[in-house]
Homo-oligomer: A and B are copies of this chain.
Amino acid sequence: MSKIPKVSPLTIDKLNANVVNAKYAVRGRLAIRAEQLKATLAEGSSTLPFSKVINANIGNPQQLDQKPITFYRQVLSIVEYPQLLEKPEASIIYKADAIARAKKIISNVGSVGAYSNAQGIQIIRDSVASFIEKRDGFPADPHSIFLTSGASSAVTMLLNAQATGNKAGFLIPIPQYPLYSATLTLMGASAVQYHLDEAKSWATNVDEISQIVNKAKLEGIDLKTIVVINPGNPTGTVLPEENIRGIIDIAAQHEIVIIADEVYQENVYLGEFISFKKVLRKMQQEFPGKYDTVELASLHSTSKGMIGECGHRGGYMELVGFNKEVVDTIYKLAAIQLCANVPGQVAVELMVNPPVKGDASYEEFTREYSHIFNTLKHRSSVLYKAFESMEGVSCQAPEGAMYLFPQITLPKKAIEEAQRLNEVPDEFYCLQLLEETGICVIPGSGFGQKDGTWHFRTTFLAPVDDYAAALTKFHQRFMDKYRD
């Protein structure tokens, strides 16, 4: 093996401090430790008290037991190898509608091995526009749609475009998905935090946001954007229309852009998803002129929903109400990275344009889709009940997304022990959970939480009965050990 010299000239103190300071808990310390434990288990001779690691730290359904939806994968399989259509056996392996869809894509896209237009393939943007129109009952413009590498690259482009320095403020929810805080740190911009209200199912508090906006302005912060995650990550909350109206109102009043992270729009188990775009268009109709210049970027992804195709890194963003020169600038950012991967773009096409009644795959698709939906709903409910039964744990009922974010009232002794070890208390809890059970969750401190409260985020993707039992048992042991 190569010998890595002990000290090369480039040391961490010489690196970009923004990069060094950025934090990303979803794949941070807990996740890295989980990888080490997996490697130990793979060696075969471990004395660990568990036989497998359960990655409940990341919304990655197909890493656990979720099967891909057959129709999606049949089409992707054909577009990767179009020559198979020349073989008569193809029609035995692939359903007729998968073949027809693949042919349509191939005839429009050509090879998936070619770079596409930097903004994404035209016919797929057309499909996205139709999907949005059908969802909202308001038109969408394919020219305002960008196909992106998951939602992450959309976030990077949007924040980068407005990151004018440390006086540039971006309102982000607390708790939040740490992509936002990490990206703002990378870009040397300021995160301006607004708290979601745990007592009200983690709803947004429009009055508090207004106060924060005014305070930030007084402090010389140039507010650029408000980020809203709906359904919430990590909270799982589905925002009511009233909340969305309140945020649009603030955006209009203070001339700030809205980033609506709506990647969990299909993961709704209680209540109803309403898009920011739809509410904005309604408000524009109700109050002519008042909301015409509101700027909204809405994000979606193939990683979530029932498609769950994380590894394909597909996504889109719709830019509503932006000036053309701003859209052109974002186009340039996309072009510098050439294009989003093309199979991922095809996955977007499939997500927004699934089989319909009468198609050969329709029944199978519906069965698979419902199975995934029902499984997620069931697991969220079992896990929620488990949390409700645990000592010192409270949890909002699961409404959407793939997560629960229970609050744990940690015993004083546990907090003291954590402090003695120079650990954040919720990380101390999560590390013990990992070491004792192989379950990897993320401490609330990775997302942000009110001072003095402790949480963790778990997905409800893992097979739930054993998982809930192991969590419950661990929690009881932990509480017994540190009981005041």
A76 cross-chain contacts in B, Cβ below 8 A:
80-81
Shortest CB distance A180–B (Å): 11
When distances are taken between beta carbons in the complex, the residues of chain B under 8 Å from A80 are 73, 76-77, 80, 343
Query: A217 → chain B, closest Cβ, in Å?
Result: 15
Please provide the chain A residues from 315 to 362 with a CB less than 8 Å away from any CB of chain B in the complex. 320-326, 329, 332-333, 335-344
Is B320 touching A2 in the complex (CB atoms < 8 A)?
yes
Are A311 and B77 CB-contacts (below 8 A) given A1-B139, A84-B93, A295-B10? no
Interface core residue of A10, A90, A310 (most chain B CB under 10 Å): A10
Contacting pair B112 A182 (CB below 8 A): no
User: Would A293 and B9 be within 8 Å (CB), given that A2-B138, A343-B343 are in contact?
Assistant: yes
Whether A152 is near chain B, meaning CB under 8 Å from some CB there, is yes
Q: Given A186-B160, A311-B339, A341-B149, is A12 in contact with B115 using a C-beta cutoff of 8 Å?
A: no
Chain B residues lying within 8 Å of A186, measured Cβ to Cβ, are 160, 333, 336
Q: Is A176 an interface residue when CB atoms closer than 8 A count as contact?
A: no
Interchain CB contact under 8 A, A60 and B257: no
Chain A residues 1-37 with CB under 8 Å of chain B are 1-2, 4-5, 7-12, 14-17, 19-20, 22, 24, 26-28, 31, 35
Q: CA–CA, A63 to B351, complex, Å?
A: 25
* Given A163-B16, A341-B149, A311 and B9 contact (CB-CB distance below 8 Å): no
Contact A311 B141 (CB under 8 A): no
Q: From residue A177, how far is it (CB to closest CB) to chain B in Å?
A: 11
Whether B295 lies near A114 (C-beta < 8 A) is no
Contact between chains at A323 and B113 (CB < 8 Å): no
Q: Which B residues are in CB contact (< 8 Å) with A325?
A: 11-12
Interface size on A, residues (CB 8 A): 105
CA A14 – CA B165 in complex, angstroms? 12
Return chain B residues, CB-CB under 8 Å to A138.
2
Contacts of A156 in B (CB 8 A): 337
**A361 smallest CB distance to B (angstroms):** 13
Whether the Cβ atoms of B152 and A336 lie closer than 8 Å is yes
Given that A2-B144, A15-B329, A77-B77 are contacting pairs, would A308 and B113 also be in contact in the complex, using a CB cutoff of 8 Å?
yes
Tally of this chain's copies: 2
**Inter-chain contacts of A206 with B (CB < 8 A):** none
How many angstroms between the C-alpha atoms of A113 and B76 in the bound complex?
A: 11
Contact B257 A10 (CB under 8 A): yes
Write the chain B residue with the least CB distance to A112.
B311
Chain B residues lying within 8 Å of A22, measured Cβ to Cβ, are 332-333, 336
Which chain B residue shows the least CB distance to A291?
Answer: B5
- Residue of chain B at shortest CB distance from A328: B12
With both chains docked as a complex, state the minimum distance between the C-beta of A220 and any C-beta of chain B, in angstroms.
16
Residues in B with CB closer than 8 Å to A15 are: 161-162, 164, 326, 329
In the complex, the 3 A-B pairs of residues with the closest C-beta atoms, listed nearest first = A311-B342, A77-B81, A9-B255
Task: Show the binding face of A for B, using Cβ within 8 Å.
Answer: 1-2, 4-5, 7-12, 14-17, 19-20, 22, 24, 26-28, 31, 35, 58, 60-63, 68, 70, 73-74, 76-78, 80-81, 83-84, 87, 89-90, 92-93, 110-118, 138-141, 144, 149-150, 152-153, 156, 160-164, 179, 182-183, 186, 255, 257, 292-295, 303, 308-313, 320-326, 329, 332-333, 335-344
